[in-house]
Amino acid sequence: MNNFTPYSALLGGILIGLSIVLYFYTTGRLAGVSGIVENAITKKANRISNILFLLGLVLGPLLYCYTKEPLAIAFTLPDHSFTITDSYPLVIIGGLLVGFGTRLSGGCTSGHGICGIGRLSISSLIATVVFVGVAMITVTILQQFGIYL
Amino acid sequence: MNDKVISLLCGVIFSLGLVVSGMTNPSKVIGFLSITHNWDASLIFVMGGAILIFAPFFYFLKSREVSTLGMEIELPSKQEIDKKLVIGSALFGVGWGLVGLCPGPSISALTSPGISGFAMFDPIVIIFLFSMAIGILVNKNLLQKTIQNKN
């Protein structure tokens, strides 16, 4: 486990938790991202509010880029750059399945995994166990073909 | 502050959490999903931290009828444990494992510079987002309507 970063993970988790609390406390809605995306695309009610939440998701990393150096004096923060597969078929199939699957089951990592489990919802707990389990199996199978090793 | 300003602010805080914890990086997420090889347990701390903050607040707030901004509390109706829940989650799991992106991080990944080449708005992330939107619309417009018509 040489990549294990428990402190920054916990700090990030606390920030996500605070965002979900603030959103629920003020708007009365749960911040499940797949639901917000669906509503932003398909529903007129609260559309601007939903789009602004998504805009916030885009602005956060930019803000991080500019505040990282002063913050780094106090904390050791991980690099924000990322690596992603360059396989178009993988990304297209993956995107379709993520969009379709999350809305069929009614939630994603935030909606079921955080909000749902936080509400002590049994169905969200089952959903989370299923998608984490299946994703682990998927990665293990891909590794048999030399991908993601 | 109205709900629009709050929504923007919540989006920013949410994505700062994603970036700080490394969750906008697909290879970090794949590291968590790679249970048999060099496993990275960090994602558990991200989800766990968020749940620990949200759960107690929710417990005390859930009985309210309106939010502090006077908006109706919208909670999902008690969801049944049915085929839709299990099959949907399984399909999401396959997609998550294939790329290492779930909905939140996929949007924040737009402005998280990649290591290889493109500084921002990586075309591969844009293609993922388009595919995800199509997946959402296929469920909403085709499948859910077919289910409604049957009933």
Digit-coded pLDDT (tens) for A12-21: 999 999 999 9
Shared domain for A12 and A48, answered yes or no, is yes
- Is B48:A12 a contact under the CB 8 Å cutoff? no
**pLDDT tens by residue, A51-109:** 999 999 999 998 987 776 666 655 566 666 788 888 999 999 999 999 999 999 999 99
| Residue B113 structure tokens | 């510079």
Region B64-83 average pLDDT: 87
pLDDT over 60 (residue B107): yes
ipTM of the complex: 0.94
Shared domain for A97 and A141, answered yes or no, is yes
Shared domain for A77 and A13, answered yes or no, is yes
Q: What does the alpha-carbon distance between residue A10 and residue B20 come to, in Å, rounded to a whole number?
A: 9
pLDDT of residue B120: 81
* Alpha-carbon gap: A2 to the closest alpha carbon of chain B (Å): 7
What is the pTM (predicted TM-score) of this model? Answer: 0.94
- Is B17:A14 a contact under the CB 8 Å cutoff? yes
Shared domain for A20 and A92, answered yes or no, is no
| Residue B20 structure tokens | 């700080």
Shared domain for A100 and A139, answered yes or no, is yes
* Alpha-carbon gap: A63 to the closest alpha carbon of chain B (Å): 8
* Alpha-carbon gap: A145 to the closest alpha carbon of chain B (Å): 12
Q: Which residues of B touch A149 (CB under 8 A)?
A: 37
Shared domain for A71 and A89, answered yes or no, is no
Range of the domain at A101: 83-149
Q: Which of B11, B31, B98 sits opposite A3 (nearest CB)?
A: B31
Can you say how many angstroms the Cα of residue A9 is from the centroid of all Cα atoms in its chain? 13
Cα end-to-end span (Å), chain B: 43
Q: What does the alpha-carbon distance between residue A47 and residue A69 come to, in Å, rounded to a whole number?
A: 35
* Contact flag B135-A50 (C-beta cutoff 8 Å): no
Shared domain for A77 and A96, answered yes or no, is no
pLDDT over 60 (residue A26): yes
* Alpha-carbon gap: A38 to the closest alpha carbon of chain B (Å): 6
Listed residues A48, A82, A116: the one ending a domain: A82
* Alpha-carbon gap: B4 to the closest alpha carbon of chain A (Å): 5
* Contact flag B47-A138 (C-beta cutoff 8 Å): no
* Contact flag A103-B140 (C-beta cutoff 8 Å): yes
Q: Which residues of A touch B139 (CB under 8 A)?
A: 99-100, 103-104
* Contact flag A84-B101 (C-beta cutoff 8 Å): yes
pLDDT over 90 (residue B48): yes
Q: How many beta carbons lie within 10 A of that of residue A58, not counting itself?
A: 19
Report residue A149's pLDDT band, with 50, 70 and 90 as the boundaries: confident
Residue B110 contacts by C-beta under 8 Å, 6 or more apart in sequence?
A: A58, B120, B121, B122, B125, B126, B129
Q: Which residues of B touch A8 (CB under 8 A)?
A: 20-22, 42
Q: Which residues of B touch A42 (CB under 8 A)?
A: 136-137, 140
- Is A51:A59 a contact under the CB 8 Å cutoff? no
β partners of residue A63? none
| Of the ranges A61-65, B33-37, B61-65, B69-73, the best mean pLDDT one | B33-37
Shared domain for A96 and A63, answered yes or no, is no
* Contact flag A118-B139 (C-beta cutoff 8 Å): no
Instruction: Write the burial class of residue B4 (CB in 10 Å: 0-12 exposed, 13-18 middle, 19+ buried).
Output: middle
Shared domain for A89 and A145, answered yes or no, is yes
pLDDT over 90 (residue B33): yes
Shared domain for A10 and A66, answered yes or no, is yes
Q: How many domains does chain A have?
A: 2
| Residue A115 structure tokens | 């909000």
Shared domain for A78 and A148, answered yes or no, is no
Chain B CB within 8 Å of residue A84 CB: yes
Listed residues A82, A106, A130: the one ending a domain: A82
Q: What does the alpha-carbon distance between residue A97 and residue B97 come to, in Å, rounded to a whole number?
A: 10
Shared domain for A97 and A73, answered yes or no, is no
Region B99-106 average pLDDT: 97
- Is A78:B22 a contact under the CB 8 Å cutoff? yes
Listed residues A61, A82, A103: the one ending a domain: A82
Q: Which of A16, A117, A127 sits opposite B89 (nearest CB)?
A: A127
- Is B43:B10 a contact under the CB 8 Å cutoff? no
The full length of chain A comes to 149
